[in-house]
C-alpha cells in the first residue's frame, strides 16, 4: 500500500510555513488568530480523514493550482493532514492496481471518507463521454457518493458544469450537486467553484469541515466565508466605479491609470467570490488588479456563458450614499409617539389637578359665604 | 428663630398617591442605571445640536426657579420685616432645599463626566469668566445655606433627646439662632446671583436663541420671574398642606403675598414686552410656527395669572390666588423652556423631543422630591398648625 | 403700617435692582466699544479657499488617520460616509448646490479669536493656547456641554454613545504632534492648496492679495472670519454667499464679549456682592432684633 501511495512531492513543511498557512487559513475562514493553535492541533492529528479524489470532465487545473501554490506549499500540507486514498494525478500506480485501491478504500472508510470531485459529469449518450476503467463518470460518482460522509465539488466544472457545460453543451455536462439530486442521493455537498478556485478556499473548507463540520453555505451550497460577497463590493477599484472613472479600451489612459474595468465587461457586479480580498499566489494578484476584467469564472450563468466583454448585470444592491452632505444637516432623531403621549398625559394631569383644586376652592369659598 | 407653632403632620406616609409616585420614581431610577452603564445617548434624545434637554432645562433650571419659596420668604420675612409670614418659612425652605438638592443631583446624571463636577472646587480649574461656573458655585453654597436654615426644624424634632447629644444640639441651635441674620443674608444674596446667572447662561448663546427671548436683560428677566414664582410657590405650598387659609386673617396674609407676586410679575411682563418690541422681534411672534405659539402661550399664562390676582377683592378669594399662582409659575416655567429648548435654534430645522427613558428619569426625580417632601412634613415640625 | 412697608419695599427693590439692571444695559454697548480680543502675532490658523477646493476629501482621510478617528458608516455599512461633524469626524467637506452655482465647504473648529466655548467652560477644559489654538483638556472637562450650546458654529461634539463621553473637535493637530512640527494633517494632504496653514496675520495678507489679484471671484471680496464673531483662526474665502455654505451671519464681536462684560460689571472683584451682602446683613439683623423685641413685649 505504501508503494502505491508514494507521494510525488515529499518535501516536509517547515514550522514557519506551517504557522503562516494556519494563520492564512484562519483569515480566509474569517476566524480570529486565536483559533490557530486549534488548527495546528487538528493538522497534527494522528487520525487523518480519508479523502477520495475523483476526476471527471476537467482539465486538472484545480489539482494543478493546488500543487503549484507556494509560500506556503498548500498541497503538501493538505497531503499531510488528510489521508489521500485515491488521486489519479498524484498516484504513481495505475490501471487495476489503482482501481483496487479505490474499491478497498471505499470499503475500509465506508461512510467516513470525504469525496472530492474535480470536473463535470456528462449525461448525454448514456454518459459515455467520460469513462474511467469502463465505468461512466455518473456511475462512479454514484458508487463513491453513496458511501461518502461529505462531498466537496472543487472547481466550477464540478460545482455547476464549468467549461464543458458552455453552450451548446454537447456532452450534457452538469455539476455534482445536480447529478446527485437526479440520482436522489442525499449527502452534504460543498461547492468550491472557480476556474481554478483559490486553493486557500479549498483548504479552508477542508479544515473547517474537519474542525467544525460543514461551513455555512449559501443557496448554491458555496461556503459563505468565501462566496458571501460580490466581487464588485470588495473590489479595490470600486471607488473609480463610484466616481465614474472607467477604462474605455484596453491600453487607453483610463486603463493605464488603473480605472474601473466595468465598461470592458468586468463581471464583478454579478459574481460572488473573494478574489479581491485573497488574491492568488504569493503576490496576491487577481485579474482586475493586473488590468483584465473579471469574467465570472465562479458564477453559473456568468462564467463561460456571458461574452467576455459584454457589460455585466448589476446584482449588487449597495448604492453609494448621497456623496456629499449638505451644508446644514440637522440630523433629527425620531420623536417617539409614546413619549409624546406620556408628556401629554403628565401635562394633562397637572392641568386637571390645578383646575380641580381651583374649583373645589371656589366651591368651598362659596359655601363659606353662603353661611353668612 | 421662627417661634412658630410647627408640628409634624403625622399620618400614613404610604398613601396611594405616594405609592404611585414611588412606581414612577422606580422607573426613573431603573433608567438612571441604564444611563450610567450605556451612556447618555442610550436613554435620551439629546444630540450635538440639542445638547441641553429636559434634564438640564426642566429638572435644573425650571426646577430651581419653581422652588424659590425660600428666597421669597427670606425677602419678605427678614428683609421687609413682615413677621406674620413666619409660618410659611419652613415649608418654603424645605421645598427649596429639596428642589435645589435634586437640581444638583440632576447635574450628576445629566453631565457626561460627572466625576469632574468636583473640579468646581479645585482652584486650578476655576474659570471666572464663565456664568456656569458662578452658577455652579452659588448653587452648591446655597444648598448648604438652605440646610443651615432648615436645621432648626430638624433639631426641634429631637427635643426629647438627652445627654451629651442634647448639649451639642442646643449649642448648634443657639449658634444658628445667633447668626441667623448672616445665614439669611446669604440666602438672599446667593439666589439673586445664581437665578440671574441661570438667565445669564443664555447670553453667550447669542443668536442661537430666538430674538423673542434673547436680550441683554435676560439675566434680569430670569431673576424677576423667579422672584414672582417664589411667591407663587409659597402660596401654593401653603394651600396644599394646610386648610388654614380658610381663616380670614390667613387669607389676608396670603393675599398680601399674592399682591407682591402680582407686582413683580407685572414688572416682568413690562420688561419682557418692552425688550421684544425694542428689538423688533415682535414680527416673529406672528409666523405661526412653534416659536410663536409658545410665545403667545407664555404671554397668555402670564396675563391670565396676573388677571386672577389683579386687585384686593379678587385676591381675598382662595381659588383666585391659587389659580393665579399656578398660572404665573407655569408662565415662568414655560419662559425658561422657551429660552433654552423651544426658542433654541442652532441651525434651521433642528427638532427635539425627549425619549421615554429621558421623560421617565425627569418625572422620577420630581416624584422623588414630592415623596421626600411628604415624608418630611409628616415626620418633622415643618407645618404650623393653628389651634382652633 | 402697610404704606410704610410698601415704600420700604419699593425702596429696597429699587436698590437691589439698580446694580443688576444698570450693568447689562451698559455692558452691551460697552462690550463692543471695549476691548475686543486682538489677534496675536504668533497665532496660527488656516485659510480655506472654497474656489480651489475640488471636494477630494483627502483632508478628511488625513485627519482621521492623524487623529486615529474611527470610521463612520452609511446606513448600509459599506462606505465611510459621515454626513456631518461628529464625535468621530473632526473635519468634513460638504457640498452646496444652488441655482447655477455650487461650492464645496470644509468645516472644522474655527479656533475663534474670542471663543464662546472657552468663555463658557466652567472648569477651563477648553482653553485658547498661546499659539491661538483652542484645545480640550480631558481632566478638566465635566461634560456639561455648555460649549456646545455657546459655539456659534456648533462645532464641539459630545460622545453621547459612550459610557464616559468626551468632547471632540479639531485641535489643529496640537493633539497629535503635527502642530509641533508646524503642520496640520489637512493642509498637508490638500492637493490643490485650498487649505493653507500659517500665521493668521500672514494668511489674512495672502487672502487679501488673492482677492486683489482675482477681482470678481470672491463673494463680496470678503474674508469670512476676519471680523466675524470677533474673528476666527480659520478663515474662509468663497465664490458663493457664506450663509449658503452654513457659515452664519454673525456680528463683529463674539457673544463671549457680552457675557463676560455683564459678568465682570456685576462681579468685578466681588465688590457688588459683598456690598449687597453687608446691606442685607444689616437689614436682617435689625429686623430680627425688632421681631425679638416684639415677642418679648
pLDDT of C117-142, one tens digit each?
999 999 999 999 999 999 999 999 99
pLDDT given for residue A319 in this prediction: 61
Residues B54 and B180 in one domain: yes
Out of A170, A200, A226, pick the residue that ends a domain.
A226
Residues B263 and B378 in one domain: no
Is residue A114 in some structural domain?
A: yes
Which of A276, A325, A332 to mutate to test binding with chain C, by most C CBs within 10 Å of its CB?
A325
Distance from CA of B117 to the nearest CA of C (A): 6
Residues B340 and B374 in one domain: no
Grid cell locating C73: 458608516
Residues A99 and A211 in one domain: yes
Q: Which of A319, A320, A325 sits opposite C83 (nearest CB)?
A: A325
Which of A348, A355, A357, A370 to mutate to test binding with chain B, by most B CBs within 10 Å of its CB?
A357
Distance from CA of A354 to the nearest CA of B (A): 7
In C, residues 40-59, which contact A (CB 8 Å cutoff)? 55
Residues B86 and B196 in one domain: yes
Question: Is B113 close to C165, i.e. CB distance below 8 A?
Answer: yes
E strand residue ranges, chain A: 50-55, 83-87, 114-118, 131-132, 135-136, 150-154, 189-192
pLDDT given for residue A18 in this prediction: 67
Q: pTM of the entire structure? A: 0.73
C133-181 pLDDT, tens digit per residue, is 999 999 999 999 999 999 999 999 999 999 999 999 999 999 999 999 9
**Cβ–Cβ < 8 Å for B48, B154:** no
Q: Which of C12, C162, C262 sits opposite B39 (nearest CB)?
A: C162
Assess B354–A contact: CB distance below 8 Å, yes or no. Answer: yes
Assess B34–C contact: CB distance below 8 Å, yes or no. Answer: no
Number of domains in chain B: 2
Is residue A24 in some structural domain?
A: yes
pLDDT given for residue B13 in this prediction: 86
Residue in the structure block whose three cell numbers are 421662627? B2
CA of residue B293 relative to chain centroid, distance: 25
For residue C158, give the chain B residue with the closest CA. Answer: B48
pLDDT given for residue B1 in this prediction: 42
Q: Is the peptide bond before A168 cis (omega within 30 degrees of 0)?
A: yes
Residues A174 and A275 in one domain: no
Grid cell locating A14: 517547515
Residues A173 and A233 in one domain: no
User: What sign for the dihedral angle of Cα C24, C28, C34, C39?
Assistant: positive
Question: Is C95 close to A320, i.e. CB distance below 8 A?
Answer: no
Residues B153 and B215 in one domain: no
pLDDT given for residue C7 in this prediction: 55
Residues A175 and A284 in one domain: no
For residue B45, give the chain A residue with the closest CA. Answer: A333
Those residues of chain B that have pLDDT short of 70 are 1-4, 79-83, 386-388
Assess C143–B contact: CB distance below 8 Å, yes or no. Answer: yes
For residue C153, give the chain A residue with the closest CA. Answer: A328
Assess C28–B contact: CB distance below 8 Å, yes or no. Answer: yes
User: What sign for the dihedral angle of Cα B238, B240, B243, B247?
Assistant: positive
Question: Is C284 close to B184, i.e. CB distance below 8 A?
Answer: yes
- Exposure on the CB side of residue B382, measured as CA atoms within 13 A: 26
Instruction: List chain B residues with CB under 8 Å of C161.
Output: 39, 41-42
What does the alpha-carbon distance between residue A62 and residue A78 come to, in Å, rounded to a whole number?
Answer: 14
- The subunits that touch chain B, with at least 3 C-beta pairs less than 8 Å apart, are A, C
Is residue A76 in some structural domain?
A: yes
Residues B121 and B52 in one domain: yes
pLDDT given for residue C109 in this prediction: 97
A101-148 pLDDT, tens digit per residue, is 888 888 988 888 899 999 999 999 999 999 998 899 999 999 999 999
pLDDT given for residue A7 in this prediction: 38
Residues A82 and A204 in one domain: yes
How many Cβ contacts (< 8 angstroms) between chains A and C? 42
CA of residue C208 relative to chain centroid, distance: 24
Using 50, 70 and 90 to split pLDDT, how confident is the model at C288? Answer: confident
Is residue A368 in some structural domain?
A: no
**Phi and psi at residue C19, to the nearest 5°:** -60, -45
Between C234 and A134, the more confident residue is C234
Using alpha carbons, select from B44, C161, C159, C72 the residue that is nearest to residue A325.
Answer: C72
Mean pLDDT to the nearest integer, C220-224: 96
Instruction: List chain A residues with CB under 8 Å of B353.
Output: 335-336, 339-340, 343
- The subunits that touch chain C, with at least 3 C-beta pairs less than 8 Å apart, are A, B
Assess C22–B contact: CB distance below 8 Å, yes or no. Answer: no
Question: Is A346 close to B363, i.e. CB distance below 8 A?
Answer: yes
Question: Is B356 close to A336, i.e. CB distance below 8 A?
Answer: yes
For residue B240, give the chain A residue with the closest CA. Answer: A357
Is residue A329 in some structural domain?
A: no
Mean pLDDT to the nearest integer, C87-96: 95
Instruction: List chain C residues with CB under 8 Å of B226.
Output: none
Assess A332–B contact: CB distance below 8 Å, yes or no. Answer: yes
Grid cell locating B381: 415640625
pLDDT given for residue C193 in this prediction: 92
**How many helices and strands (H and E) does chain A possess?**
15, 7
Q: Is the peptide bond before B75 cis (omega within 30 degrees of 0)?
A: no
Residues B192 and B269 in one domain: no
For residue A328, give the chain C residue with the closest CA. Answer: C246
Residues A251 and A179 in one domain: no
Residues B292 and B164 in one domain: no
Q: Which of B47, B319, B360 sits opposite A365 (nearest CB)?
A: B319
Residues B268 and B363 in one domain: no
Which of B5, B50, B51 to mutate to test binding with chain C, by most C CBs within 10 Å of its CB?
B51
**Cβ–Cβ < 8 Å for C186, C195:** yes
For residue B134, give the chain C residue with the closest CA. Answer: C122
Instruction: List chain A residues with CB under 8 Å of C105.
Output: 327
Q: Which of A322, A324, A326 sits opposite C55 (nearest CB)?
A: A324
pLDDT given for residue A8 in this prediction: 39
Q: Which of A318, A321, A325 sits opposite C94 (nearest CB)?
A: A325
Residue C24 scores a pLDDT above 60:
no
Query: What radius of gyration, in Å, describes the C-alpha atoms of chain C?
Result: 25
End-to-end CA distance of chain A: 125
Q: Which residues contact A277 (CB under 8 A, 6 or more apart)?
A: A234
Report how far apart, in Å, the C-alpha atoms of C46 and of each of A347, C84, C187 are.
50, 20, 8
Q: Which of B38, B52, B188 sits opposite C163 (nearest CB)?
A: B38
Distance from CA of A180 to the nearest CA of B (A): 53
Q: Which domain range does residue B334 map to?
A: 208-352
Number of domains in chain A: 2
Strand, coil or helix: B48: coil
**Cβ–Cβ < 8 Å for A294, A306:** no
**Phi and psi at residue C104, to the nearest 5°:** -85, 160
Assess C162–B contact: CB distance below 8 Å, yes or no. Answer: yes
Q: Which of A333, A354, A364 sits opposite B326 (nearest CB)?
A: A354
pLDDT given for residue A6 in this prediction: 36
Assess B350–A contact: CB distance below 8 Å, yes or no. Answer: yes
Is residue A361 in some structural domain?
A: no
pLDDT in tens, chain A (372 residues): 333 333 334 455 666 766 776 676 776 676 666 766 776 676 666 567 788 999 999 999 998 888 877 655 666 666 777 777 788 877 777 788 888 888 888 898 888 889 999 999 999 999 999 999 889 999 999 999 999 999 999 999 999 999 999 989 999 999 999 999 999 999 999 999 999 999 889 888 988 888 888 999 999 999 999 999 999 988 999 989 887 889 999 999 999 999 999 999 999 999 999 999 998 887 889 999 999 999 999 999 999 999 999 999 888 666 666 678 899 998 888 899 999 999 999 999 999 999 999 999 888 877 766 554
Residue C246 scores a pLDDT above 80:
yes
pLDDT given for residue C56 in this prediction: 87
**Cβ–Cβ < 8 Å for C104, C183:** no
What does the alpha-carbon distance between residue C91 and residue A237 come to, in Å, rounded to a whole number?
Answer: 25
Residues A299 and A197 in one domain: no
Using 50, 70 and 90 to split pLDDT, how confident is the model at C26? Answer: very low
Out of A320, A351, A366, pick the residue that ends a domain.
A320
Q: Which residues contact B164 (CB under 8 A, 6 or more apart)?
A: none
Assign domain C44-257 one CATH number from 3.30.70.20, 3.30.420.40, 3.40.50.150, 3.30.1180.20. Answer: 3.30.70.20
Query: What radius of gyration, in Å, describes the C-alpha atoms of chain B?
Result: 21
Residues B286 and B163 in one domain: no
Which of C95, C104, C238, C245 to mutate to test binding with chain A, by most A CBs within 10 Å of its CB?
C95
Distance from CA of C82 to the nearest CA of A (A): 8
Instruction: List chain B residues with CB under 8 Å of C284.
Output: 78-79, 180-182, 184-185, 188
Instruction: List chain B residues with CB under 8 Å of A340.
Output: 353
Residues A33 and A130 in one domain: yes
DSSP conformation letters of chain C: -HHHHHHHHHHHHHHHHHHHHHHHHHHHHHHHHS-PPPPPTT-EEEEEETTT-----HHHHHHHHHHTPPP-B-TTSSSB--SS--SS-S-EEEEEEETTEEEEEEE----BSS-HHHHH-TTS-EEE-TTS-EEE-TTT-----HHHHH-TT---EE-TTSSS--EE---TTTTTTTGGGT--HHHHH-SSS-EEEEEHHHHHHHHHHHHHHSTTTSGGG--BTSSGGG-BSEEEE-SS-GGGGT-----SS-HHHHHHHHHHHHHGGGHHHHHHHHHHHHHHHHHHHHHHHHHH-
Residues B192 and B219 in one domain: no
Residues B133 and B95 in one domain: yes
Out of A290, A320, A350, pick the residue that ends a domain.
A320
Question: Is C84 close to A324, i.e. CB distance below 8 A?
Answer: no
**For residue A287, how many other CB atoms are within 10 A of its CB?**
17
The H-or-E segment that residue A22 falls in is: helix A15-29
Q: Which domain range does residue A253 map to?
A: 229-320
Residue C210 scores a pLDDT above 90:
yes
Strand, coil or helix: A43: helix
Grid cell locating C44: 496660527
Which of A349, A362, A370, A371 to mutate to test binding with chain B, by most B CBs within 10 Å of its CB?
A362
Amino acid at each position: 500500500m505504501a508503494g502505491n501511495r508514494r507521494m510525488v512531492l515529499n518535501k516536509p513543511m517547515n514550522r514557519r510555513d506551517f504557522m503562516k498557512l494556519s494563520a492564512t487559513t484562519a483569515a480566509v475562514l474569517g476566524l480570529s488568530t486565536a483559533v490557530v493553535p486549534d488548527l495546528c492541533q487538528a493538522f497534527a492529528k494522528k487520525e487523518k480523514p480519508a479523502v477520495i479524489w475523483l476526476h471527471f470532465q476537467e482539465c486538472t487545473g484545480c489539482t494543478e493550482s493546488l500543487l503549484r501554490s507556494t509560500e506556503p506549499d498548500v498541497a503538501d500540507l493538505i497531503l499531510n493532514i488528510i489521508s489521500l486514498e485515491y488521486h489519479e494525478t498524484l498516484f504513481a500506480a495505475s490501471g487495476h492496481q489503482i482501481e483496487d485501491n479505490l474499491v478497498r478504500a471505499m470499503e475500509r472508510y465506508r461512510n467516513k471518507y470525504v469525496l472530492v470531485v474535480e470536473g463535470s459529469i456528462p449525461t448525454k449518450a448514456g454518459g459515455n463521454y467520460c469513462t474511467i476503467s469502463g465505468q461512466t463518470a455518473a456511475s462512479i460518482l454514484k458508487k463513491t457518493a453513496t458511501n461518502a460522509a461529505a462531498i466537496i465539488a472543487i472547481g466550477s466544472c464540478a460545482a455547476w458544469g464549468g467549461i464543458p457545460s458552455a453552450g451548446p453543451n454537447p456532452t450534457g455536462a452538469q455539476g455534482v450537486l445536480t447529478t446527485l439530486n437526479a440520482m436522489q442521493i442525499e449527502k452534504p455537498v460543498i461547492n468550491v467553484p472557480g476556474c481554478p478556485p483559490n486553493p486557500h478556499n479549498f483548504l479552508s473548507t477542508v479544515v473547517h469541515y474537519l474542525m467544525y463540520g460543514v461551513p455555512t453555505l449559501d443557496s448554491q451550497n458555496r461556503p459563505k466565508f468565501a462566496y458571501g460577497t460580490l466581487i464588485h463590493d470588495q473590489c479595490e477599484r470600486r471607488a473609480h466605479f463610484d466616481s465614474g472613472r472607467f477604462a474605455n479600451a484596453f491600453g487607453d489612459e483610463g486603463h493605464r491609470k488603473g480605472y474601473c474595468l466595468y465598461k470592458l465587461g468586468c463581471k464583478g457586479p454579478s459574481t460572488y467570490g473573494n478574489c479581491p480580498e485573497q488574491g492568488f499566489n504569493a503576490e496576491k494578484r487577481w485579474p482586475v488588479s493586473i488590468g483584465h476584467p473579471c469574467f465570472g469564472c465562479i458564477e453559473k450563468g456568468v462564467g463561460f456563458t456571458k461574452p467576455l466583454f459584454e457589460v455585466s448585470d448589476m446584482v449588487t444592491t449597495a448604492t453609494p450614499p448621497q456623496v456629499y452632505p449638505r451644508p446644514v444637516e440637522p440630523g433629527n432623531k425620531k420623536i417617539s409617539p409614546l413619549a409624546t403621549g406620556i408628556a401629554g398625559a403628565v401635562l394633562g394631569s397637572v392641568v386637571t389637578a390645578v383646575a380641580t383644586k381651583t374649583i373645589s376652592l371656589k366651591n368651598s369659598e362659596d359655601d363659606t359665604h353662603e353661611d353668612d | 428663630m421662627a417661634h412658630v407653632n410647627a408640628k409634624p403632620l403625622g399620618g400614613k406616609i404610604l398613601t396611594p398617591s405616594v405609592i404611585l409616585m414611588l412606581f414612577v420614581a422606580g422607573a426613573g431610577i431603573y433608567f438612571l442605571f441604564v444611563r450610567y452603564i450605556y451612556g447618555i445617548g442610550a436613554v435620551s434624545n439629546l444630540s450635538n445640536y440639542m445638547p441641553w434637554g429636559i434634564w438640564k432645562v426642566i429638572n435644573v433650571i425650571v426646577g430651581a426657579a419653581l422652588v424659590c419659596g425660600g428666597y421669597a420668604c427670606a425677602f419678605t420675612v427678614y428683609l421687609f420685616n413682615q413677621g406674620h409670614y413666619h409660618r410659611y418659612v419652613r415649608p418654603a425652605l424645605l421645598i427649596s432645599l429639596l428642589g435645589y438638592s435634586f437640581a444638583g443631583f440632576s447635574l450628576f446624571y445629566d453631565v457626561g463626566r460627572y466625576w469632574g463636577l468636583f473640579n468646581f472646587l479645585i482652584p486650578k480649574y476655576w474659570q471666572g469668566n464663565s456664568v456656569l461656573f458662578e452658577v455652579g458655585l452659588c448653587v452648591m453654597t446655597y444648598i448648604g445655606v438652605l440646610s443651615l436654615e432648615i436645621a432648626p426644624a430638624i433639631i426641634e424634632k429631637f427635643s426629647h433627646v438627652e445627654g451629651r447629644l442634647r448639649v451639642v444640639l442646643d449649642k448648634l441651635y443657639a449658634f444658628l439662632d445667633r447668626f441667623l441674620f448672616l445665614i439669611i443674608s446669604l440666602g438672599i444674596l446667593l439666589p439673586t446671583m445664581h437665578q440671574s446667572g441661570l438667565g445669564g447662561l443664555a447670553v453667550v448663546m447669542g443668536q442661537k436663541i430666538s430674538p423673542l427671548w434673547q436680550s441683554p436683560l435676560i439675566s434680569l428677566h430670569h431673576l424677576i420671574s423667579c422672584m414672582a414664582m417664589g411667591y407663587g410657590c409659597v402660596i401654593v405650598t401653603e394651600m396644599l398642606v394646610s386648610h388654614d387659609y380658610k381663616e380670614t386673617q390667613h387669607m389676608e396674609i396670603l393675599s398680601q403675598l399674592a399682591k407682591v407676586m402680582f407686582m413683580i410679575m407685572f414688572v416682568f411682563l413690562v420688561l419682557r414686552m418692552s425688550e421684544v418690541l425694542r428689538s423688533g422681534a415682535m414680527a416673529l411672534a406672528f409666523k405661526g410656527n412653534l416659536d410663536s405659539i409658545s410665545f403667545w402661550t407664555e404671554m397668555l399664562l402670564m396675563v391670565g395669572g396676573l388677571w386672577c390676582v389683579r386687585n384686593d377683592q379678587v385676591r381675598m378669594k382662595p381659588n383666585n390666588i391659587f389659580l393665579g399662582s399656578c398660572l404665573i409659575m407655569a408662565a415662568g416655567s414655560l419662559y425658561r423652556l422657551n429660552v433654552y429648548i423651544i426658542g433654541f435654534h442652532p441651525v434651521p430645522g433642528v427638532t427635539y423631543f425627549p425619549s421615554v427613558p429621558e421623560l421617565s428619569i425627569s418625572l422620577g426625580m420630581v416624584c422623588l422630591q414630592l415623596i421626600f417632601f411628604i415624608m418630611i412634613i409628616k415626620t418633622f415640625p415643618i407645618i404650623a398648625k393653628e389651634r382652633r | 403700617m402697610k404704606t410704610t412697608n410698601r415704600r420700604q419695599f419699593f425702596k429696597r427693590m429699587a436698590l437691589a435692582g439698580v446694580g443688576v439692571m444698570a450693568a447689562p444695559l451698559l455692558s452691551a454697548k460697552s462690550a463692543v466699544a471695549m476691548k475686543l480680543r486682538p489677534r496675536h502675532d504668533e497665532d496660527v490658523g488656516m485659510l480655506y479657499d472654497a474656489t480651489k477646493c475640488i471636494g477630494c476629501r483627502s483632508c478628511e482621510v488625513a485627519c482621521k488617520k492623524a487623529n486615529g478617528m474611527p470610521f463612520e458608516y452609511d446606513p448600509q455599512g459599506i462606505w465611510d460616509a459621515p454626513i456631518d461633524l461628529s464625535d468621530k469626524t473632526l473635519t468634513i467637506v460638504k457640498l452646496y448646490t444652488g441655482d447655477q452655482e455650487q461650492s464645496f465647504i470644509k468645516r472644522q473648529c474655527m479656533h475663534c479669536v474670542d471663543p464662546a466655548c472657552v468663555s463658557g467652560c466652567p472648569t477651563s477644559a477648553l482653553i485658547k493656547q498661546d499659539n491661538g489654538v483652542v484645545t480640550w483638556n480631558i481632566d478638566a472637562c465635566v461634560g456639561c456641554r455648555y460649549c456646545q450650546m455657546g459655539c456659534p458654529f456648533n462645532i464641539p461634539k459630545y460622545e453621547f454613545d459612550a459610557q464616559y463621553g468626551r468632547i471632540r473637535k479639531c485641535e489643529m493637530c496640537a493633539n497629535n504632534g503635527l502642530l509641533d512640527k508646524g503642520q496640520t494633517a489637512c493642509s498637508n494632504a490638500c492637493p490643490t492648496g485650498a487649505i493653507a496653514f500659517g500665521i493668521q496675520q500672514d494668511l489674512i495678507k495672502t487672502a487679501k492679495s488673492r482677492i486683489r489679484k482675482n477681482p470678481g471671484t470672491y463673494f463680496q471680496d470678503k474674508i469670512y472670519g476676519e471680523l466675524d464673531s470677533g474673528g476666527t483662526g480659520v478663515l474662509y474665502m468663497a465664490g458663493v454667499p457664506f450663509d449658503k455654505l452654513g457659515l452664519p451671519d454673525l456680528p463683529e464681536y463674539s457673544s463671549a464679549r457680552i457675557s463676560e462684560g455683564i459678568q465682570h460689571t456685576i462681579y468685578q472683584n466681588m465688590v457688588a456682592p459683598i456690598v449687597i451682602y453687608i446691606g442685607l446683613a444689616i437689614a436682617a439683623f435689625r429686623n430680627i432684633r425688632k421681631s425679638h423685641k416684639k415677642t418679648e413685649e
